[in-house]
Chain A
């Protein structure tokens, strides 16, 4: 993906392009998504394509929240695109260009349905989609991009020689940069200034009587703004139509899930790779030291409360128990662990009331279901009880105290708190948690922006812990490999 043109000879290229154009349902990699899909879609395709796109949009949102530079954003988004929604150029020898583009097209429209339903969601979706469009526009091949631009009417008026002469002094001003020769050779397009607000805001164009004279090198501003307003309008239209959809009871839960996932960071329930189980088994005795070194704040808090009170309420037990199960605590070890922790309770009562529940959560009792551990998304869902995500549930004061007491031994300083709190304030709880991971793992070689490594955000408490444990192991092995240098 995104590889630069390999410099194929022009005629070869042209042949390829002509051939493709005759065959492709979607002749361009870039898409303004004008008309909704009319083809039949299976329920599974409907949901999975949307989830794939959601991964990409979440990455874009996160990047904005973390102030990533454009180049960093490009890099991390390209990784997500390759993995979830690859989109080839016409010139690529990709087998299924149409299939890729169909998935892109479908997923966009599914997410429109999910995100049209509140002004906040609409704005965030438009912002993320416009960024994705910009990234694809930038990475498109010049010829293919030109052919896309020619395929639709952007309503820009080429400025003729007479008019260009009339405003020669202004248009050729050194203020607009470039050399004099370049300025004189420049082509201009006239659009209403309201279509290039970004250029106007920065005084990057000449404006006269309501018209902006946009040099061809700034033409993309028109395209991006057009994409943005086009999508904004389309979402508002969709929002008006959606009450009819509410009758379709199969669809609404899916859409609800999608929009919630976007708000809370996408959940690992949906990622095949993120079966965050740990192949190694853990002993009951190890839990305490693991908790102090490797657990995210939600689980760390539950652990500390359990140790302090020798008790946890039902939801806390359930949540922490499932987390430990996925971490690698066997049912036998779990019973040992909880027995020790609940030290104030008599054996009799423990065996009767708690042992059953522990075995139940391991699928050994009752309906014998294999209950998954709760993801961040589930913990962030309002009404999860007071054991949800501390970044969301705690007051700012309590959260800061909790963070320092949990992590200052791992290098978290109070000077780190303002940044973390700023993510919390803007409701990017998973970003806050990810940042804490980065700060407490900087000695493992994790730097700012890398997340759990590989630019992944925290979306599951088990991933946090598993990744932290893995990093510690890698470090140990490295120490073993590199013999100490003794002077």
Chain B
């Protein structure tokens, strides 16, 4: 990293300074708790800490934001995770009756990781990510955001950059919080079209009666608009032999596949765009248009880590933690930032502490204040979380008012 505090962005000194002066505990509290006074949504919530040396502390819970902050500053974890709201305080788990500690509420969460796109992206691999392949994530975000609002009616969505090569989604609508594991599994099934993982070149068979389900059709309508730029020009997925062979694998007619292969072998520089046009012509003539739709979905549809979403007790890294490898902060992203988002532009912990030092020098040594982050480049992101938390608190206020009146 570019910092003089050493090369380790997660040294305990750096983490302590970050947690004491920058981490927005109050905003996180409001977002999890949905109102000012502590409720079970916060007090019965599990926090898990990862300490240096892979020590993992589960089943912590706190009564206030300050208590959480104090513990975090004491432990100086490299990161911490947020779990479900339990039927009792997780920290009392040794004293409650066996079986009495069960998860009851939990944001509906999603995790999309760039590595699941390795079979289709050509610009980077493994841990790397650039502006180009970020477009896979961007497409996934648009499709999921649209489906979750349109079909399930959810409104309180928070997208959070995972600090390296992926994105998390937290949904805090009451109905989403209350979903059982069975219902979460059903919802994931509904949203799944491409299996993340090894068998990604398997045929999809998403059509019945020659049609996609209305929800997948809606996703496809959007994906059609980005397929050309992302897959054909930007990633040029079918330029290499390996790339177009993957494509030919799904062509249902062996004769057509053979003809295309001969044609493409003879002009090695034929672009993905031209090849797609070749294929499209044959598909129209030979009546396999649904296969083209499958291909578009195969290359661009969101690849979900289903296990994360299916279980209420799955832990997920808290927003605003620092990614231990990149030092970048896991900042929230709004939908309109997604397309032009550059992972490189996200502030690192080192950079933020430098900003603070500069302010200190300019303003003279004073006591640290709670809102130190106000003066750093972290501000717009924290403002975003605050606005989101406010909208959740407003829902709670309105509900209370309604129930007051009904009495």
User: B208 contacts the other chain (Cβ, under 8 Å)?
Assistant: yes
- In chain B, what residue has the closest Cβ to A120? B99
Of the candidates B150, B151, B183, B189, the one whose C-beta lies within 8 Å of that of A202 is B189
Q: Are A208 and B189 in contact (CB under 8 A)?
A: no
Residues 128-161 of chain B: 1 if any A CB is under 8 Å from the residue's CB, otherwise 0? 0000000000000000000000111100000000
User: B334 contacts the other chain (Cβ, under 8 Å)?
Assistant: no
Q: Are B152 and A118 in contact (CB under 8 A)?
A: no
- In chain B, what residue has the closest Cβ to A119? B99
Q: Are A203 and B211 in contact (CB under 8 A)?
A: no
A-B contact pairs, 8 of them (CB 8 A): A174-B211, A177-B208, A194-B183, A200-B187, A201-B185, A207-B215, A208-B151, A210-B153
Residues of chain B lying within 8 A (CB to CB) of residue A194: 175, 179-180, 183
User: A320 contacts the other chain (Cβ, under 8 Å)?
Assistant: no
Q: Are A175 and B213 in contact (CB under 8 A)?
A: yes
Residues of chain A lying within 8 A (CB to CB) of residue B99: 118-119
* B24 vs chain A, min Cβ distance (A): 31
* A341 vs chain B, min Cβ distance (A): 46
Residues of chain A lying within 8 A (CB to CB) of residue B212: 175
Of the candidates A176, A198, A207, the one whose C-beta lies within 8 Å of that of B152 is A207
* B124 vs chain A, min Cβ distance (A): 33
Could you list 18 further interchain pairs (A-B, Cβ under 8 angstroms) beyond the known A202-B189, A207-B152? Answer: A119-B102, A173-B211, A174-B209, A175-B211, A175-B214, A176-B208, A194-B179, A194-B180, A200-B190, A201-B186, A203-B189, A203-B190, A203-B213, A207-B151, A209-B153, A210-B151, A210-B153, A211-B153
Of the candidates A175, A193, A210, A211, the one whose C-beta lies within 8 Å of that of B207 is A175
Q: Are A207 and B208 in contact (CB under 8 A)?
A: no
Residues of chain A lying within 8 A (CB to CB) of residue B189: 200-203
Residues of chain A lying within 8 A (CB to CB) of residue B187: 200-201
**Pairs of residues from A and B, 9 with the lowest C-beta to C-beta distance, nearest first:** A174-B209, A197-B186, A201-B189, A210-B153, A201-B186, A170-B214, A209-B153, A175-B211, A203-B213
- Contacts known (A173-B211, A175-B213, A203-B215); A208 close to B150, Cβ less than 8 A: yes
User: A206 contacts the other chain (Cβ, under 8 Å)?
Assistant: yes
User: B182 contacts the other chain (Cβ, under 8 Å)?
Assistant: yes
- In chain B, what residue has the closest Cβ to A178? B209
Task: Report, as a range, how many residues of chain B touch the other chain.
Answer: 20 to 34
User: B366 contacts the other chain (Cβ, under 8 Å)?
Assistant: no
- In chain A, what residue has the closest Cβ to B151? A207
Residues of chain B lying within 8 A (CB to CB) of residue A197: 182-183, 185-186
Residues of chain A lying within 8 A (CB to CB) of residue B180: 194
* A61 vs chain B, min Cβ distance (A): 19
Residues of chain B lying within 8 A (CB to CB) of residue A203: 189-190, 213, 215-216
* A240 vs chain B, min Cβ distance (A): 10
User: B53 contacts the other chain (Cβ, under 8 Å)?
Assistant: no
Residues 193-236 of chain B: 1 if any A CB is under 8 Å from the residue's CB, otherwise 0? 00000000000000111111111100000000000000000000
Residues 68-109 of chain B: 1 if any A CB is under 8 Å from the residue's CB, otherwise 0? 000000000000000000000000000000010010000000
- Contacts known (A201-B189, A201-B190); A193 close to B209, Cβ less than 8 A: no
A119 to B87, CA, bound (A): 14
B interface residue numbers (CB < 8 A to A)? 99, 102, 150-153, 175, 179-180, 182-183, 185-187, 189-190, 207-216
Task: Report, as a range, how many residues of chain A touch the other chain.
Answer: 20 to 34
- In chain B, what residue has the closest Cβ to A208? B151
- In chain B, what residue has the closest Cβ to A169? B214
Residues 177-197 of chain A: 1 if any B CB is under 8 Å from the residue's CB, otherwise 0? 100000000000000011001
A169 to B209, CA, bound (A): 14
Q: Are B210 and A174 in contact (CB under 8 A)?
A: yes
Q: Are B190 and A207 in contact (CB under 8 A)?
A: yes
Residues of chain A lying within 8 A (CB to CB) of residue B152: 193, 207, 209-210
Residues of chain B lying within 8 A (CB to CB) of residue A176: 208-209
Residues 211-243 of chain A: 1 if any B CB is under 8 Å from the residue's CB, otherwise 0? 100000000000000000000000000000000
- In chain B, what residue has the closest Cβ to A195? B183
Residues of chain A lying within 8 A (CB to CB) of residue B102: 119
A255 to B208, CA, bound (A): 50
A206 to B150, CA, bound (A): 11
Q: Are B183 and A174 in contact (CB under 8 A)?
A: no
* B165 vs chain A, min Cβ distance (A): 29
- In chain B, what residue has the closest Cβ to A210? B153
* B176 vs chain A, min Cβ distance (A): 10
Number of A-B pairs, beta carbon distance below 8 Å:
66
* B381 vs chain A, min Cβ distance (A): 30
Q: Are A210 and B214 in contact (CB under 8 A)?
A: no
* A382 vs chain B, min Cβ distance (A): 17
A200 to B153, CA, bound (A): 14
Residues of chain B lying within 8 A (CB to CB) of residue A207: 151-152, 190, 215
| Most-contacted residue by chain B among A118, A119, A197, A211 (CB, 10 A) | A197
A198 to B190, CA, bound (A): 10
A169 to B214, CA, bound (A): 9
Residues of chain A lying within 8 A (CB to CB) of residue B211: 173-175
Q: Are A174 and B153 in contact (CB under 8 A)?
A: no
Residues of chain B lying within 8 A (CB to CB) of residue A177: 208-209
* A170 vs chain B, min Cβ distance (A): 4
* A456 vs chain B, min Cβ distance (A): 33
- In chain B, what residue has the closest Cβ to A228? B182
* B249 vs chain A, min Cβ distance (A): 25
A375 to B230, CA, bound (A): 67
Of the candidates B150, B151, B185, B214, the one whose C-beta lies within 8 Å of that of A173 is B214
Residues of chain B lying within 8 A (CB to CB) of residue A200: 186-187, 189-190
A170 to B221, CA, bound (A): 14
A210 to B214, CA, bound (A): 15
A193 to B212, CA, bound (A): 20
Q: Are A206 and B214 in contact (CB under 8 A)?
A: yes
* A215 vs chain B, min Cβ distance (A): 14
A252 to B215, CA, bound (A): 52
A422 to B180, CA, bound (A): 28
Residues of chain B lying within 8 A (CB to CB) of residue A198: 186
* B223 vs chain A, min Cβ distance (A): 17
- In chain A, what residue has the closest Cβ to B208? A175
A201 to B215, CA, bound (A): 13
Residues of chain A lying within 8 A (CB to CB) of residue B179: 194
* B377 vs chain A, min Cβ distance (A): 38
Residues of chain A lying within 8 A (CB to CB) of residue B153: 209-211
Residues of chain A lying within 8 A (CB to CB) of residue B216: 203
Residues of chain A lying within 8 A (CB to CB) of residue B183: 194, 197
A49 to B164, CA, bound (A): 61
* B363 vs chain A, min Cβ distance (A): 51
* B94 vs chain A, min Cβ distance (A): 18
* B311 vs chain A, min Cβ distance (A): 15
A446 to B186, CA, bound (A): 39
* A239 vs chain B, min Cβ distance (A): 9
Q: Are B208 and A174 in contact (CB under 8 A)?
A: yes
A197 to B208, CA, bound (A): 20
Residues of chain B lying within 8 A (CB to CB) of residue A174: 208-211
Residues of chain A lying within 8 A (CB to CB) of residue B208: 174-177
* A383 vs chain B, min Cβ distance (A): 20
Q: Are B209 and A209 in contact (CB under 8 A)?
A: no
Residues 372-385 of chain A: 1 if any B CB is under 8 Å from the residue's CB, otherwise 0? 00000000000000
A276 to B166, CA, bound (A): 64
* A76 vs chain B, min Cβ distance (A): 27
* A309 vs chain B, min Cβ distance (A): 42
* B180 vs chain A, min Cβ distance (A): 8
The residues in A between 100 and 128 inclusive whose CB is less than 8 angstroms from any CB of B are: 118-119
Residues of chain B lying within 8 A (CB to CB) of residue A201: 185-187, 189-190
* B195 vs chain A, min Cβ distance (A): 14
A207 to B215, CA, bound (A): 8
- In chain A, what residue has the closest Cβ to B178? A194
| Most-contacted residue by chain A among B153, B180, B211 (CB, 10 A) | B153
Residues of chain A lying within 8 A (CB to CB) of residue B209: 173-177
